[in-house]
Structure 1
């Protein structure tokens, strides 16, 4: 199984105790959905390896304490710290609502703005603590679009499009050239208070 057949579930943050338990960060909307998780694919040196879960306890929101079959010592567990966790795409429930989408599914979708028409293509989606962002390729530039209902309206899975209304001036921020600093004074002169 390859990453193309899977979605990113999260990653391993640290060990827990001395018996090989691990702490998973579950990068999902509802971690409680995974309380009965029986197995997971862990990325080790670029390969996805299946591991069976002996026990899992969801704690502190997106964190889970997990015991994995065959991982019985802190040394074994330490080798998996920072490894990414994956599950097959088949595990995901299909979304029928056209106002919601999985982040991985909109990569390569065309972005259609209600005012400007077709803009570009989704290249990546960033799941951030403060604001989830869509990265779009537009006129050779990378443009970041905040994901919220005022901006991102609907998804058309059949035509592979995402319908948006970008805030005024958003594209201008990315298209304007950076100021030319060739005539700027030396660093010492810039901070001279005389």
Structure 2
């Protein structure tokens, strides 16, 4: 069974399309739609379950009609509406290396500051402005930390950790 730390959410299902079991997938980024894969993981009852792709047809740059194996009619497709779609991090990383840096890869990583304090987990990446931000959450707080190589001291991909050297005053206690 694949671990949660080994997958990255790339989109979600929207609605069934037609009567042959196709379903519309909305990707979080156009780059995720371009990843050539034989399968997607759908989160079923909290468990990532692989579904093999039989057909893939682009609708827009961030949506596609996908026919999944063993989903053969609109009733079966309707069971998977509003389901999160995941890909293995390694596959997303390989695609990102071939293109440009993708800060979304770090979603789910734990952020530790230069003093060894655990700040929280990167829940999402806000790239709505010129300055890309990590949205880091823990039980008590939410931090917005600039996603910049200047602040990153070390990355441990096996443990999903990022050690960051943050300027004084950036994280207020």
The TM-score, its normalising length taken from structure 2, stands at 0.70
Within a 5 Å distance, the mapping from 1:37-116 to structure 2 comes to 37-91=37-91, 92-93=93-94, 95=97, 101=103, 102-104=105-107, 107-111=109-113
Unpaired segments ≥5 residues, structure 1: 176-194
CA root-mean-square deviation: 3.4
Write the distance in 2 (CA, Å) between the matches of 1:103 and 1:78: 31
> Which one has a bigger Cα radius of gyration?
1
Aligned to 1:190: none
Q: 1:157 aligns with which of 145, 149, 154?
A: 154
Write the distance in 1 (CA, Å) between the matches of 2:54 and 2:84: 19
Aligned to 2:11: 10
Alpha-carbon deviation of 1:23? 0.8
Alpha-carbon deviation of 1:82? 1.0
Within a 5 Å distance, the mapping from 1:118-133 to structure 2 comes to 121-127=119-125, 130=128, 133=133
The TM-score, its normalising length taken from structure 1, stands at 0.64
Secondary structure (helix, strand or coil) at the match of 2:20 reads: coil
Unpaired segments ≥5 residues, structure 2: 157-161
Query: 1:86-109 CA deviation, whole Å, 9 max, x = no partner?
Result: 12223232759xx7642236x223
Write the distance in 1 (CA, Å) between the matches of 2:167 and 2:62: 31
Aligned to 1:25: 26
Write the distance in 2 (CA, Å) between the matches of 1:122 and 1:51: 32
CA contact (8 A) 2:122 2:137 kept: no
CA contact (8 A) 1:133 1:144 kept: yes
Higher relative contact order (CA 8 A, sep 6+): 2
Distance 1:144 1:119, change over 3 A: farther
Distance 1:59 1:157, change over 3 A: farther
